[in-house]
Structure 1
């Protein structure tokens, strides 16, 4: 027989795990956790249009790399973060089983900054994605009308930044992509 909740010591419950489980399994809307704060994902069609343009431009290369592209959950274990990127490119073999992946298992993470997510996408996510090993992080900032590509992840974020590049100037994604994104319609 399992212990009653009143018999369990509070220190036996991992609050990070409990919060992430509750959000992932019981939220009726799409949410992410950023630095311990639950943020609903309320995206407009203009936001989705930019993400869709990125997906279309990367589609052939993603297929050739035997990867999938989507907006799946990314867990950052040991932190109070559970991110839902606008676009993530991951090896297809890692998507079997349906659970969250780690940023270091991606090839590319793309965030389209909106008015509600802008500070998170500009400040928190470059640091956290870098700390957790996402090889490339592309920030598409609609407020400043520019793109910034972060590369060379490390313990304090990213060591190399390209940009901000104004919309209209192509963004070169290094290998394994080897493509230049057209940003003129962002």
Structure 2
């Protein structure tokens, strides 16, 4: 049984910080609401791992770090913690405490759409990541028909101004600072 010690949390962030480890779930705070989601299927993780592998040459060349589902980021401004499926960052990315990277120091975040995250990944996450100054948001939706990959970038006034979508199987450009043409056929199931 879970019980809170100390004063009752007043914000989503305070409740998040008070949560014990929740095996099999990931916790996030989106627009002040604590969201608990079951961990994805193996296929979900494999897609993020395939992205990690595709970015290996860029990571090695620039000394960047990549993480498949194991690193939370703190969205600057509201200080909300988010758990992307993939994070690309410099090795010296600023942190919020010991466990979260600061969003403005991250290079790219990616979300792999799952049945429970369709609206969040397509609607809420682009706003949140743009607000947090994440230069590139990559959305991989293998549940859509046809399957799609979308790159959001070029933040102006807290919104991604450039959005490019291709069908899985077509190449898509990951803009600066990554500057890599991604072969999205790696995401075909």
TM range (shorter): 0.7 to 0.9
Whose strand fraction is larger, Structure 1's or Structure 2's?
2
Any idea what the Cα deviations from partners look like across 1:103-157, whole Å, max 9, x if unmatched?
2111111111111111100000001101110000000111220011000123442
Deviates more, 1:123-132 or 1:30-39: 30-39
Any idea what the Cα deviations from partners look like across 1:74-120, whole Å, max 9, x if unmatched?
11255373210011111111278733122211111111111111110
Give the 5 Å matches for 1:1-186. 15-23=11-19, 26-29=20-23, 30-35=26-31, 36-70=33-67, 71=69, 72-79=71-78, 81-94=80-93, 98-144=98-144, 145-163=147-165, 165-186=166-187
How far apart are 1:62 and its partner, in Å? 1.1
Distance 1:74 1:179, change over 3 A: same
Whose helix fraction is larger, Structure 1's or Structure 2's?
1
Number of residue pairs the alignment of both structures matches: 174
Give structure 1 stretches of 5+ with no counterpart. Answer: none
Task: List, as ranges, runs of 4+ consecutive aligned residues in structure 1 with deviation greater than 3 Å.
Answer: 77-81, 95-98
Distance 1:180 1:138, change over 3 A: same
Asked whether the equivalents of residues 27 and 34 of structure 2 are also in contact (C-alpha less than 8 Å), the reply is no
How far apart are 1:67 and its partner, in Å? 1.2
Asked whether the equivalents of residues 112 and 141 of structure 1 are also in contact (C-alpha less than 8 Å), the reply is yes
- SS of corresponding position for 2:184: coil
TM-score by length of 1: 0.83
How far apart are 1:38 and its partner, in Å? 2.1
Q: Determine the C-alpha separation between the residues in 1 that align with 2:175 and 2:102.
A: 21
Give structure 2 stretches of 5+ with no counterpart. Answer: 1-5
TM-score by length of 2: 0.82
How far apart are 1:15 and its partner, in Å? 2.5
How far apart are 1:16 and its partner, in Å? 4.2
Q: Determine the C-alpha separation between the residues in 2 that align with 1:168 and 1:38.
A: 32
Any idea what the Cα deviations from partners look like across 1:40-70, whole Å, max 9, x if unmatched?
2421011111111101000121122111111
